């Protein structure tokens, strides 16, 4: 038995190393793709000589050429230009959704986990109510109440994402407040606000960061869905979801009108998910592989 284990351990370590290298390469590739998308969208005015809303009916539904690398839409607007500017709108809107959820959810989670009691129960029941509805359906209800537009869509999705952040921060706070350093801080007279925001919350940031990266990917999908249905970005502003809706009617004339924004959404979301897995493995000690003992 010992001989068999002796021969199998090097093979197992080699397999784990290969899997680790493959995972690392995948995360690096995802990070490069994500960085390339962000870089291209940020430099949209430099990379494209066209305006995203400028129309030219003479180029209506033009196919890819030297003048329009990806072609043009039904009113002659350059597709590559709108793809770059639409990426800026989509990414900034997704960041706005995450910012709203963090601004509301993190304080609620810290308060609920630290103090408990009636307020904790009230916040928990409110989160249960919001989580009992499908997120996208609940966003539709909020947008219908607030009105159409990207600002209202950001606010609606931000509210929908609050329960997830609140529950995560609450669970982390419950764990941290039982530790010795919290008792030591209170024994020397630190205020509750100082203990919560300067000692407990910094120890929760790493886990919250992983969740926010995932939420960013979900926000891109949900914002694209709202824009696809006409509830998010309104014409003539460029957005990947709205472009997907416009392009699906012209698949036979120029498939890139729908394929380009759809592929941009897929690449961005998949890259964010892989990057989130990489962050989780890096910052969580339990996810790191421990060296095997030699006999």
* Residues 190-206 pLDDT 10s: 888 889 888 899 888 88
Q: How far apart are the first and last CA of the chain?
A: 13
Q: Domain of residue 207: give its range.
A: 26-52+68-281
- Could you count the other beta carbons within 10 Å of the beta carbon of residue 124? 15
169 contacts 110 by C-beta, under 8 angstroms: yes
Check which CATH number belongs to the domain holding 169 and give it. Answer: 1.10.3720.10
What is d(CA 219, CA 161) in angstroms, rounded to the nearest whole number? 9
Of 4-8, 145-149, 230-234, the poorest mean pLDDT is in 4-8
Q: What are phi and psi of 78, to 5 degrees?
A: -65, 125
Give how many domains the chain has, as a whole number. 1
What is d(CA 142, CA 128) in angstroms, rounded to the nearest whole number? 17
Q: For tokens 């929760």, name the residue.
A: 204
239 contacts 227 by C-beta, under 8 angstroms: yes
Asked if the structure places residue 217 within a domain, the reply is yes
Query: What is the per-residue pLDDT across 69-79, written as a single tens digit (0 to 9) for each?
Result: 888 888 888 89
pLDDT value at 266 more than 90:
yes
Report pLDDT for 24.
75
Query: What is the per-residue pLDDT across 95-114, written as a single tens digit (0 to 9) for each?
Result: 999 999 999 999 999 999 98
Report pLDDT for 254.
85
Q: Which long-range contacts (CB under 8 A, 24 or more apart) does 73-77 make?
A: 73/243, 73/246, 73/247, 73/250, 73/257, 74/246, 74/250, 77/50, 77/52, 77/53
93 contacts 149 by C-beta, under 8 angstroms: no
Asked if the structure places residue 36 within a domain, the reply is yes
What is d(CA 243, CA 240) in angstroms, rounded to the nearest whole number? 5
Q: What is the mean pLDDT of residues 82-89?
A: 92
- Could you count the other beta carbons within 10 Å of the beta carbon of residue 34? 18
What is d(CA 89, CA 67) in angstroms, rounded to the nearest whole number? 24
Asked if the structure places residue 235 within a domain, the reply is yes
Report pLDDT for 136.
81
Q: What is the mean pLDDT of the chain?
A: 84
What is d(CA 139, CA 129) in angstroms, rounded to the nearest whole number? 14
282: exposed, middle or buried (Cβ count in 10 Å: 0-12, 13-18, 19+): middle
Asked if the structure places residue 7 within a domain, the reply is no
Asked if the structure places residue 293 within a domain, the reply is no
Q: Please count the residues of the chain.
A: 295
Asked if the structure places residue 35 within a domain, the reply is yes
Cite the beta strand spans of 120-182 per DSSP E.
none
- Measured torsion, CA atoms of residues 53, 55, 61, 66, in degrees rounded to the nearest 10: -90
Range among 29-33, 103-107, 137-141, 149-153 rated most confident:
103-107
Q: What share of the chain is helix, strand, coil (3-state, %, to 5)?
A: 75, 0, 25
pTM: 0.85
Asked if the structure places residue 116 within a domain, the reply is yes
Asked if the structure places residue 231 within a domain, the reply is yes
Binned at pLDDT 50, 70 and 90, residue 295 comes out as very low
Q: Closest by alpha carbon to 217, among 90, 128, 127, 130? A: 90
Q: What is the mean pLDDT of residues 39-56?
A: 87
pLDDT value at 16 more than 80:
no
78 contacts 67 by C-beta, under 8 angstroms: no
């Amino acid at each position: 038995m010992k001989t068999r284990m002796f021969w199998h351990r090097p093979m197992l370590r080699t397999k784990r190393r290969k899997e680790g290298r493959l995972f690392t390469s995948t995360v690096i590739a995802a990070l490069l793709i994500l960085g390339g998308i962000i870089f291209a969208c940020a430099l949209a005015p430099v990379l494209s000589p066209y305006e995203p809303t400028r129309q030219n009916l003479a180029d209506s539904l033009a196919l890819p050429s030297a003048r329009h690398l990806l072609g043009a839409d039904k009113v002659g607007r350059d597709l590559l230009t709108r793809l770059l500017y639409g990426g800026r709108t989509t990414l900034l809107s997704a960041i706005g959704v995450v910012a709203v959820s963090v601004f509301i959810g993190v304080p609620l989670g810290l308060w609920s986990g630290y103090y408990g009691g009636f307020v904790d129960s009230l916040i928990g029941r409110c989160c249960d109510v919001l989580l009992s509805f499908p997120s996208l359906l609940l966003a539709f209800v909020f947008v219908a109440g607030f009105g159409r537009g990207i600002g209202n869509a950001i606010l609606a999705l931000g509210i929908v994402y609050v329960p997830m952040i609140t529950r995560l921060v609450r669970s982390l706070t419950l764990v941290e407040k039982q530790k010795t350093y919290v008792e030591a801080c209170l024994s020397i007279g630190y205020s509750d606000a100082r203990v919560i925001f300067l000692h407990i919350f910094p120890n929760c940031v790493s886990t919250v960061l992983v969740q926010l990266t995932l939420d960013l990917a979900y926000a891109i999908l949900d914002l694209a869905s709202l824009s696809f249905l006409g509830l998010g970005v309104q014409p003539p502003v460029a957005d990947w979801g709205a472009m997907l809706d416009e392009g699906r009617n012209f698949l036979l004339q120029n498939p890139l009108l729908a394929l380009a924004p759809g592929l941009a959404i897929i690449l961005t979301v998949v890259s964010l998910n892989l990057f989130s897995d990489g962050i989780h493995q890096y910052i969580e000690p339990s996810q790191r592989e421990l060296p095997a003992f030699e006999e």
